[in-house]
Amino acid sequence: MGQAIWDFYHQHNPEDLQTETSISELDELPVNYLFRDFTSMNMVEQKALQLASGKVLDVGAGAGSHALYLQDEKKLDVTALDISPKSIEICKERGIRKAISQDLLHFSGGTYDTILLLMNGTGIFQSLNVIDIYLQKLYGLLNKNGQILIDSTDILYMFDADEDGGVYIPADGYYGELDYIVHYKGESEDPIKWLYLDYNTLKNAAEHNNFNIEKVLQDEDSYLAKLTKRG
């Protein structure tokens, strides 16, 4: 994905990305979608950006569209964080003043008033087996009165249902744990673990890790949640 972002920005023969998961077929992802402005973002993204305040960490920044809006339009102190060096290179070229390529679990750049995890941000947690590790990391990066704004999608609708409304879901593990694969210019990344969480499962995990949580917005099967430190 980082290579596609770099190619698009530099007009170096960019092509659309193709994505697939362990339960879905190949789908096109236009690279220009990653460069959209505020007016082209969905309701969940717009609401999160409206709520963002103070010193902000944008986790999984990609091409930097969220960070750029907060920096240039809301005049906030924003750090864009992404594991892809090429994505962070483009963030810097687009004018984001603080942009770092690093894995979230290894990041130690101070504490923040707002931490953003958008575009199905729970995906970074990978699986329920390690979600506590990520939530504790985020807890340590959050200021006392700060907020985590995170979105996800309940993908239960993707599974077959019977006439009575019962849903056929895998018996092994949580149904939102998927393998996610990105294809670009005939090459494919190794599958990565990606976690789509229904709200109640996120709520249970958040409360287990000493967070308060509230659902800020519901948009069909997707939602935006706000986590704050308990006590």
In the predicted model, is pLDDT for residue 42 greater than 60?
A: yes
And the tokens for 108? 């130690």
Average pLDDT of span 46-64: 98
Model confidence at 108: pLDDT above 60: yes
Give pLDDT, residue 228. 98
Per CATH, which fold does 42-182+189-229 belong to?
A: Rossmann fold (3.40.50)
What are the sequence ranges of the domains in the chain? 42-182+189-229
pLDDT level of residue 173 (50, 70, 90 thresholds): confident
Largest distance between two CA atoms of the chain: 55
**23 confidence band (pLDDT: 50, 70, 90):** confident
d(CA 226, CA 150): 7
Query: Given this model, what pLDDT does residue 168 score?
Result: 57
pLDDT at 177 over 70: yes
- Percentage of the chain modeled with pLDDT above 90: 87
State yes or no: pLDDT of 171 exceeds 90.
no
Q: Is the pLDDT of residue 110 over 90?
A: yes
| 3-state secondary structure string across 32-63 | HHHHCCHHHCCHHHHHHHHHCCCEEEEECCCC
Q: What are 59-105's pLDDT values in tens digits? A: 999 999 999 999 999 999 999 999 999 999 999 999 999 999 999 99
Q: SS3 sequence, 121-144?
A: HHHHHCCCCCHHHHHHHHHHHEEE
Q: What is the mean pLDDT of the chain?
A: 94
